[in-house]
Amino acid sequence: MIDMTRPSPVSAELIARFAREAGKRPEQRALRNAVVKNGIQAVALDPQTVVASAYTFSLEIPTGPITHQQQSGRCWMFAGLNVLRVKAAQAMNLKEWEFSQAYPMFWDKMEKANYFLESILETLDEPRDSRVVAWLLANLMQDGGQWDMFVNLIEKYGAVPKSVMPETFHSSQSQVMNRLLNRKLRSDAARLRERHASGVGLSAVRAEKEAMLGDIYQMLTHFLGEPPAAFDWEYRDQDDHFHAERQLTPQAFYARYVGVDLSQYVSLINAPTADKPYGRTYTVQHLGNVIGGRPVRYLNVDAGTLRRLALAQLEDGEPVWFGCDVGQLSDRDSGVMAPELYDYEGVLGVSLDMSKAEQLDYGESLMTHAMVLTGVNLVKGQPNRWKVENSWGPDRGHQGFFVMSDQWFDRYLYQVVVHRKYLPPDLDAAWEREPLILPPWDPMGSLARVF
């Protein structure tokens, strides 16, 4: 008799029983052979779901050519700039136009370096192996970000055309750059903590921190080039009219050609976990980029509210920035995002069922990628699929666009950003309340950075 109250090993008898049971069903043996030879995704893919996911939509917003973040985790930045370029293209009467993505990347790295070093100063009296310090040292310089971090960059540094600060080798392939920046910052963190432990005063330690930031700036100019303080902007519009602006600052360029007040946009999430009641705002400790800038702030609502407000903004002709777990039940080649796309359970003969709350609580899912909603298909006024502008180049999906089923929206979409005017009075009042602070490792502290 087995004592079920004590830990039990994987015994030979247990393995023998599992082997007998696994070989009982002939169809499972056939499926096992197919998976061994072709891989689970090829066997589990439902072609009818791909066929049914039509790239036709009753409502579409015109966009420019698909952008490409290459081998970098700047999806959140590309998505933000893709939302803004609709306004900029209209203002300049241009059909095809693109912001520089290297420009905000430079300042994001610079600001993140300062944010990290300030977090190290804030935790000087914490043991080096405390959970907070360990988290800081494991999650410092990377490409990922959040909507509020994008807003901070635009509000502080403005924006420039891509021709003014084009892509570089390391903006498009950021892994080595990030590794070296991380090494430098970890070295700096060790020096700062050593100086504090030896009794050096905080003002002297801060002076050393500023010198360290100078090194980071120098490294970034090697990787990304030097960002312009001012530039000349010349272009010819769709009516063949020539335009020239001299010595524009990036801030003046943004004000002149975009002018969107980003402070009026709010970040809504759907996190149906027991620890995050709906109708409350949340922020995340040690998550951000610009010291003194806008903190990351979420308002948690149900999925129906998320859908309704995103649809309202689309119907007014404005695209919607959103965050999701793009790796879940989606196909990069076809661009289809649908829960029924892969029948893993049927092929493997096991249950993989989890609720959205369980996926978050148990580490199965979190926000990994940011894209833009640019269209929707309505049936009797209700969405059944959404048009998605991605930043993986024109060779993915349908000429760079993806199609998301409404069921996938419910299950794996976690965040949308909409203008505050769409909030009903109760949610508008909720947005003003002091946010609850989540620990750095909370799933809502994840950054969009998949490429």
Query: Tens digits of per-residue pLDDT, 280-327?
Result: 999 999 999 999 999 999 999 999 999 999 999 999 999 999 999 999
Range with lowest mean pLDDT among 12-26, 70-84, 123-137, 189-203: 12-26
Look at residue 260 and tell me whether its pLDDT is greater than 80: yes
Number of C-beta neighbours around residue 372 at 10 A = 24
Query: Tens digits of per-residue pLDDT, 83-100?
Result: 999 999 999 999 889 999
C-alpha closest to that of 167 among 256, 64, 96, 74: 74
Q: Are 139 and 440 in contact (CB under 8 A)?
A: yes
| 443 vs 270: CA distance, rounded Å | 12
Q: Which single residue is written with the structure tokens 């061994």?
A: 36
Query: Tens digits of per-residue pLDDT, 411-451?
Result: 999 999 999 999 999 999 999 999 999 999 999 999 988 87
Q: Which two tokens stand for residue 106?
A: 């430079």
Query: Tens digits of per-residue pLDDT, 130-189?
Result: 999 999 999 999 999 999 999 999 999 999 999 999 999 999 999 999 999 999 999 999
Q: Are 166 and 124 in contact (CB under 8 A)?
A: no
Would you name the residues annotated as active-site residues? 75, 369, 390
Look at residue 385 and tell me whether its pLDDT is greater than 90: yes
Number of C-beta neighbours around residue 257 at 10 A = 22
**CATH code of the domain occupying 59-445:** 3.90.70.10
Query: Tens digits of per-residue pLDDT, 55-65?
Result: 999 999 999 89
Q: What's the one-letter identity of residue 75?
A: C
Q: How distant, in Å, are the alpha carbons of 68, 126, 161, 298, 438 from that of 285?
A: 31, 15, 34, 13, 6
Query: Tens digits of per-residue pLDDT, 9-36?
Result: 999 999 999 888 887 777 888 898 999 9
| 148 vs 435: CA distance, rounded Å | 14
C-alpha closest to that of 143 among 359, 369, 294: 369
Query: Tens digits of per-residue pLDDT, 332-367?
Result: 999 999 999 999 999 999 999 999 999 999 999 999
Look at residue 1 and tell me whether its pLDDT is greater than 70: no
Strand (E) or helix (H) holding 38 = helix 26-38
Split at pLDDT 50, 70, 90, the class of 2 is: low
Largest Cα span, the chain: 89
Phi and psi at residue 359, to the nearest 5°? -60, -40
Q: Is 361 exposed, middle or buried (0-12, 13-18, 19+ CB in 10 A)?
A: middle
| 243 vs 315: CA distance, rounded Å | 32
Secondary structure class of 267 (helix, strand, coil) = strand
Residue 289 has a pLDDT of 97
Split at pLDDT 50, 70, 90, the class of 46 is: very high
Name the residue ranges covered by the structural domains of the chain.
59-445
Q: Are strands 59-60 and 242-248 parallel, antiparallel or unpaired?
A: unpaired
Residue 25 has a pLDDT of 77
Beta-bridge mates of residue 100: none
Q: How distant, in Å, are the alpha carbons of 117, 121, 130, 132, 206 from that of 197?
A: 16, 12, 16, 18, 14
| 113 vs 287: CA distance, rounded Å | 13
Q: Are 54 and 403 in contact (CB under 8 A)?
A: yes
Residue 147 has a pLDDT of 98
Give the 3-state secondary structure percentages of the chain, helix then strand then coil, rounded to 5: 45, 20, 40
For the chain, the straight-line distance linking the first and the last C-alpha, in angstroms and rounded, comes to 52
Mean pLDDT of the chain: 95
C-alpha closest to that of 264 among 153, 150, 419: 419
C-alpha closest to that of 265 among 133, 124, 104, 79: 79
